[in-house]
């Protein structure tokens, strides 16, 4: 296991990419203290909010959003493809990209990070508390891992909808045969995800703002924290007095806001926190 923790100390950042010579955890006693602190926060919390991003699913072999451009797609910018304008200009290309990702997601299974978050929810609920999992991911893996109170902020890649009637369908796991795929009403189907410039669902927004503004612990996990409104929830929680921490392989804009940053893989750090919190 190779991870480090920082409470906004730049020196500790420099340990980030050092190779580990042994299988022993690399964190020092001080770092271990921070893990113990975060575990205590989890154990004590009555209302937890977690915002997750593509990094949580990276260990389930799903490329992160900004790394999703492999092979034939390497020359494209994901931020340009994930727009209504790109779909209008070239529905074939955009739906081919989404279908490739859809099929990959259908084959993926939850990893230790997803399972740890589901575990935390179970423990918190059993003590009468709440946990709200705000995910930017469209892969459905949190629900597959057993998380119950999941808000899919950016929609779902499993669900597609008719661009004429709005009717939703859940296609089988095999690749589409035509691009764009057509609905029963004879119009192109599009993935039921939220593209740049589109509004998140009103219900998702209401839940996310209310939960972030009233939680006592906020965790940001595996997100580059550059896409709004999701990137803003941590500040809302912090202003409302919540304890905050981040789990990410790399530094993000959130790193400078939170009380603690754990630098490493969510599939390693989250299970470690669960073990320390609940045994």
Binding interface with ligand BJW (CB under 6 A): 53-55, 58-59, 64-66, 82, 136, 138, 154, 193-199, 222-224, 226-229, 247-250, 252, 265-267
**Among candidate residues 195, 259, 209, the one with its CA nearest the CA of residue 51:** 209
Residue 55 CB, shortest distance to ligand BJW, in Å, is: 2
127/239 with CB nearer ligand BJW:
239
Residue 46 CB, shortest distance to ligand BJW, in Å, is: 26
154 tagged catalytic: yes
3-state class of 182 per DSSP? strand
Strand partners, 191: 160
4/252 with CB nearer ligand BJW:
252
Residue nearest to ligand BJW (CB): 55
Residue 185 CB, shortest distance to ligand BJW, in Å, is: 23
26/216 with CB nearer ligand BJW:
26
Residue 101 CB, shortest distance to ligand BJW, in Å, is: 7
Q: Which distant-in-sequence residues (6+ apart) come within 8 Å of 206 by Cβ?
A: none
7/251 with CB nearer ligand BJW:
251
Task: State the catalytic residue, choosing from 114, 123, 142, 154.
Answer: 154
Q: How many CB atoms lie within 10 A of CB 22?
A: 7
Give 261: exposed, middle or buried? Use CB within 10 Å, 0-12, 13-18, 19+.
buried
| CA distance readout (Å), 247 to 13, 30, 150, 180, 267 | 13, 17, 19, 37, 10
Structure tokens that stand for 169 in this block: 């369908």
For the annotated catalytic residues, the residue numbers are 154
């Amino acid at each position: 296991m190779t991870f480090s923790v920082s409470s906004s100390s730049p020196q500790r950042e420099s340990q980030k990419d050092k190779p580990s010579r042994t299988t022993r955890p690399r964190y020092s006693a001080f770092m271990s203290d921070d893990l113990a602190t975060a575990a205590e926060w989890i154990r004590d919390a009555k209302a937890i909010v977690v915002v997750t991003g593509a990094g949580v699913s990276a260990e389930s072999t799903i490329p992160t959003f900004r790394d999703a451009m492999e092979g034939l797609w390497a020359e494209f910018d994901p931020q340009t493809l994930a727009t209504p304008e790109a779909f209008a200009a070239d529905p074939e290309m955009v739906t081919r990209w989404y279908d490739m990702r859809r099929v990959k997601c259908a084959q993926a299974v939850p990893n230790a990070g997803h399972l740890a978050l589901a575990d935390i929810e179970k423990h918190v609920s059993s003590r009468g508390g709440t946990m709200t999992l705000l995910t930017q991911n469209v892969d459905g893996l949190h629900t597959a891992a057993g998380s119950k109170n999941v808000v899919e902020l950016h929609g779902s890649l499993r669900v597609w909808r008719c661009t004429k009637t709005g009717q939703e369908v859940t296609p089988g796991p095999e690749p589409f045969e035509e691009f764009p795929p057509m609905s029963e009403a004879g119009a192109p189907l599009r993935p039921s995800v939220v593209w740049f410039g589109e509004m998140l669902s009103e219900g998702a927004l209401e839940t996310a703002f209310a939960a972030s503004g009233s939680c006592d612990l906020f965790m940001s996990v595996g997100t580059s924290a550059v896409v709004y409104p999701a990137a803003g929830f941590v500040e809302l929680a912090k202003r409302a007095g919540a304890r905050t921490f981040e789990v990410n392989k790399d530094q993000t804009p959130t790193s400078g806001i939170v009380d603690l940053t754990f630098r490493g893989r969510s599939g390693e750090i989250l299970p470690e926190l669960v073990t320390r919190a609940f045994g």
